[in-house]
Amino acid sequence: MDRMVRRKITEFLGLALIRLSMIIILASMFAVVGFVVFRGLGVISWQFLTDEPRDSMTTGGIFPAIIGTLYLVIGAVIVAFPLGVSSAIYLNEYARNGRIIRIIRFGINSLAGIPSVVFGLFGLAVFVVSFGFGSCILSGSLTLGILILPVIIGASEEALKAVPMTYREASLALGATRWQTIKNVVLPAALPGILTGSILGVGRAAGETAPIMFTAAAFYTKVIPTSVFHEVMALPYHIYVLATAGTHISKTRPIQYGTALVLISLVLGVNALAIIIRARIRRRHG
Amino acid sequence: MTESFQKQSRFSRTTIEWFIRNTFLILSLMSITVVFFVFLFLFREGMPIFEKVSISDFIFGTLWYPTDANPVFGIWPMIVGSMIVTFLSSIIAVPIGLMSAVYVSEIAAHRVKEFIKPTIELLASIPSVVMGFFGMVIVAPFLQDVFDLPLGLNVFNASLMLAFMAVPTISSISEDALNAVPRSLREASFALGANRWETITRVVIPAGLSGISTAVILGMSRAIGETMVVLMVAGGAAAIPRSIFDPCRPLPASIAAEMAEAPFRSDHYHALFATGIVLLIITFAFNLLADYLSMKYRMESK
């Protein structure tokens, strides 16, 4: 009987511990998001979003940083989307040779595991220096594009896998070639899922700081970029420099909170959107 | 005429098919090509430092004075810094990540699961610069107060923040591993009279162990490579920390903090690229290990 009680107590404590860990995760998540929202909300105004920084960054808005992040992210998706979707199509629709698949997968996994600061070094050595682009939107977008490639491949593959085999078989039975089947049957069916992938890529690219530090980001630019060879301000870099460098760290706190709120809304919003779309797709196929 | 037209079009159809197929093949080899070029360019820009410093002096040297008149390049303090914050953060993140995976896969009701899984995913997507900012503004003063420290930016703070960033990785991959454990094993355990806790700890977790170890390694790999958090909250001192409340400077922080001020192709610049090589090799080794474990695990389950 004593043993029975001990087992019951152990089970109770163990399960409580598991629930506690879940609570810790949720609580810390809400602490971080709550902190940014709570501190940042008072700072956000139309003027903050649309004005340029003033008085050596201590007042004014963050418009150039918003625009800069937008440009970088759009550029990254333009780089990564065609490559990512093509890789997913090859892996899911064409590849039969186990060795080639293994090589491609090894490449994708290795790419996904490279630290973001190493991408920054790579972008610096290749795009900024060897290609001579300098620190600019183009270099930053290419670097971020490579970084989000695995994200887009993963999501696109999942979308292609969700297309029922019968669709392909029906199309092939009607005499369509493999490419015609992919173009007219598989891709349209997988499109929402593939777009989800690029949305996830957007979220990832928007939040990264280290890859753009040496390849694109400027501490301060007044001009709105008109060419891909311009340096830009970016939201994550803006938070970093204001919070760590310069002589006005405490004076610019409100701007830091506001920028963090804008960034986190962008990233979490985009990710939440992707999650919702994906849940819809799964329900339709499930 | 129709016949010859058909014949010709059929010929070009197979040619087009062949062309398209190989275009996709070439595009999908881009990832591995990029990985190759990452190695190539890091080595190209990093190797010149070894004409000035021997590899062992570079790795095991304990002094880092890159801008001195007589510069010294030793990255041992950074390697130790990286090892300590990664180790400490996994001590925090592994139990929490694993237990949350157990919760989602073994305990949570379907509706709770629908809420918790996306939440963990959202947690993974919080930008690292925001985590670093949180660590600076909230956690650092808190630690200063509670432990009565002169500095809140230290090893412990960085480990906490890193743990937070590794939890989603560990949690979601471990959950996959637990989900792959066959239902029948759980049923057999219950049928023998084991309760839920006993089933989880003695049947389900052991059965998913290789998948879980993949999760742990990938989580650690993420923590080693994470830059912004350690750059902002680890304190930045290029010295070997004596306690968890000392500041330190992990490898990524060293690169990110100094690259902007290193003159182009100076010794300092090359030394930072060489630091990048060390970081790349460490993370690459971790990922290879994770790959190997998950392959072994797939073979076992077949």
CATH code of the domain covering residue B133: 1.10.3720.10
State the nearest Cα–Cα gap between A124 and chain B, in angstroms. 10
Domains of chain B: total: 2
| Residue B1 pLDDT | 43
Q: Does the CB of A103 have a partner CB in chain B at under 8 Å?
A: yes
> Would B56 be classed as within a structural domain?
no
Same-domain pairing of B14 and B112: no
CA B217 to chain centre: 8
**In this predicted model, which residue has the larger pLDDT, B2 or B113?**
B113
> Would B57 be classed as within a structural domain?
no
Average the pLDDT over A206-231 and give the result: 86
Residue B10 pLDDT level (bands cut at 50, 70, 90)? low
Q: Does the CB of A27 have a partner CB in chain B at under 8 Å?
A: no
Cα diameter, chain A: 79
Question: CA-to-CA distance for B120 and B137, rounded, in angstroms?
Answer: 23
Domains of chain A listed by start with CATH number:
46-285 (1.10.3720.10)
* Inter-chain touch B126–A126, beta carbons under 8 Å: no
* Residues contacting residue A20 through CB under 8 Å, at least 6 positions apart: none
Residues of A in contact with B171 (CB under 8 A): 25
For residue B11, give its domain range: 2-51
| Residue B11 pLDDT | 63
| Residue B157 pLDDT | 95
A211-223 pLDDT tens trace? 999 999 887 777 6
Mean pLDDT of chain B: 90
| Residue B83 pLDDT | 95
> Would B156 be classed as within a structural domain?
yes
Same-domain pairing of B25 and B166: no
Strand bridging mode B64-65 / A53-54: unpaired
Same-domain pairing of B189 and B275: yes
Of B42, B167, B283, the CB nearest to A122: B42
Residue B37 pLDDT level (bands cut at 50, 70, 90)? very high
Question: CA-to-CA distance for B60 and B79, rounded, in angstroms?
Answer: 9
Q: Does the CB of A77 have a partner CB in chain B at under 8 Å?
A: no
Residues of A in contact with B284 (CB under 8 A): 110, 113-114
Residue A119 φ then ψ, to 5°:
-60, -40
Residue B296 pLDDT level (bands cut at 50, 70, 90)? confident
> Would B238 be classed as within a structural domain?
yes
Per-residue pLDDT for A145 more than 50? Answer: yes
> Would B287 be classed as within a structural domain?
yes
* Inter-chain touch B291–A82, beta carbons under 8 Å: no
> Would B207 be classed as within a structural domain?
yes
Residue B4 pLDDT level (bands cut at 50, 70, 90)? very low
Same-domain pairing of B168 and B45: no
B183-238 pLDDT tens trace? 999 999 999 999 999 999 999 999 999 889 999 999 999 999 999 999 999 988 88
Q: Does the CB of A94 have a partner CB in chain B at under 8 Å?
A: yes
Residues of B in contact with A186 (CB under 8 A): none
Average the pLDDT over A228-247 and give the result: 88
